[in-house]
């Protein structure tokens, strides 16, 4: 017995990555029953590539749809509404699915009938650039906790464990009239996971048997924008789900940061005082402690990660390692600045 699977593929300006993604879906060992390719107002050659693929592969069950409302949440929601089969699988247009991807999803749901949604792990498709290696090491640290059955909301923050829509699937019957929040352009995956928990759904994250390759952004500028927008979305998620709460998040470096985040009501008069305090603390870290102590610790931690995975990267030169360590330090500084922006916009206070 196997499930019938619908694949939802949101697309926006993906001409550089789309062809590999489509070919990987065509070559699945367990063929999808339908592929819903959602063009989200692309202004490059993405739609042309889709039409050519349909023309050249008439036996592939691909349907091309248009979602005029901008955003990945809106595109995925159209796919959810149009999906016809029991399992709905998601990936992004910059992903490359292993040949056994759908077979792995099918096997997981067959062996776990009580699970409503599952998310897998990501690996870099190539490792030939600075950004590729940055994500290679970062994702190794993300997967330090694996095969997580998510039981409570704060667990998502503690263990960085949530349902990642670029490699995931759900039972359609469990999510009738349940969609992504179109107000989120980033961190919509965390929001979806939190709402799933509140609706008493069973969600599994970081499932190691379900893997996906990701074609990384090649420029440091695009990487920086990705981190910035994610942090902004994260603050938006805190505002929505943890308003008026004090959250004890895991600290990155306990000697430097107290792991406390306070989410205030937008209307609270204390928000201004809290924000000024928060900005002052973060600026102090950024201007003083960060560069003197945090920067050193970030570099040391990164070298620790590199040496931990040295068996997988034996050919890298020391100069390349230094560039990686410097890149990670810069990205962490950008993340701190993004927190300041998020604090101002969404009323988050960091201590």
Alpha-helical segments (H) within the chain: 18-26, 46-56, 72-82, 101-111, 130-142, 153-159, 188-198, 220-241, 270-284, 295-308, 318-346
Q: Which residues contact 347 (CB under 8 A, 6 or more apart)?
A: 239, 263, 264, 265, 266, 268, 271, 274, 275
Tens digits of per-residue pLDDT, 161-208? Answer: 567 788 999 999 999 889 999 998 888 888 898 898 888 888 887 788
Higher pLDDT, 288 or 2: 2
Query: Region 245-249: what's the mean pLDDT?
Result: 58
d(CA 223, CA 235): 19
Tens digits of per-residue pLDDT, 274-286? Answer: 555 555 555 555 4
Confidence of residue 77 (pLDDT cuts 50, 70, 90): very high
Tens digits of per-residue pLDDT, 199-237? Answer: 888 888 778 889 999 887 778 888 888 888 888 888 888
Q: Which residues contact 184 (CB under 8 A, 6 or more apart)?
A: 71, 73, 191, 233, 236, 237
Query: Region 19-28: what's the mean pLDDT?
Result: 96
* pLDDT score of 129 more than 80: no
Domains of the chain: 5-214 (3.90.550.10), 220-350 (no CATH)
- Give the per-residue pLDDT at 20: 95
* pLDDT score of 254 more than 50: no
Confidence of residue 289 (pLDDT cuts 50, 70, 90): very low
- Give the per-residue pLDDT at 128: 72
């Amino acid at each position: 017995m196997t499930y019938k699977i619908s694949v939802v593929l949101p697309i926006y300006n993906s001409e550089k990555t789309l062809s590999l993604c489509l070919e990987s879906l065509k070559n699945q060992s367990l063929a999808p029953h339908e592929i819903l390719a959602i063009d989200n107002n692309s202004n490059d050659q993405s739609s042309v590539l889709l039409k050519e693929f349909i023309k050249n592969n008439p036996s592939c069950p691909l349907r091309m749809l248009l979602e005029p409302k901008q955003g990945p949440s809106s595109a995925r929601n159209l796919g959810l509404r149009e999906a016809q089969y029991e399992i709905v699988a998601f990936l992004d247009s910059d992903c490359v699915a292993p040949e056994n991807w759908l077979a792995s999803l099918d096997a997981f749901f067959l062996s776990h009938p009580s699970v409503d949604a599952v998310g897998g792990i990501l690996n870099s498709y190539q490792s030939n650039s600075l950004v590729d290696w940055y994500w290679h090491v970062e994702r190794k640290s993300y997967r330090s906790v694996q095969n997580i059955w998510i039981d409570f909301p704060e667990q998502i923050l503690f263990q960085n464990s949530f349902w990642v829509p670029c490699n995931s699937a759900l039972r359609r019957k469990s999510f009738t009239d349940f969609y992504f929040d179109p107000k989120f352009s980033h961190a919509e995956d965390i929001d979806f996971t939190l709402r799933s928990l509140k609706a008493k759904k069973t969600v599994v994250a970081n499932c190691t048997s379900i893997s996906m390759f990701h074609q990384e952004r090649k420029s440091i500028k695009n990487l920086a924008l990705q981190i910035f927008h994610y942090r902004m979305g994260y603050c938006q998620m805190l505002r929505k789900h943890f308003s008026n709460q004090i959250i004890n998040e895991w600290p990155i470096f306990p000697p430097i940061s107290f792991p406390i985040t306070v989410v205030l009501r937008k209307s609270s008069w204390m928000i201004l005082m809290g924000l000024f305090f928060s900005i002052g603390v973060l600026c102090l870290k950024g201007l003083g402690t960060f560069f003197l102590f945090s920067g050193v610790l970030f570099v040391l931690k990164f070298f620790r990660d590199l040496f931990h995975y040295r068996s997988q990267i034996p050919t890298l030169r020391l100069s390349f390692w230094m560039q990686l360590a410097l890149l990670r330090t810069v990205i962490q500084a950008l993340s701190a600045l993004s927190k300041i922006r998020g604090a101002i916009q969404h009323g988050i206070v960091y201590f």
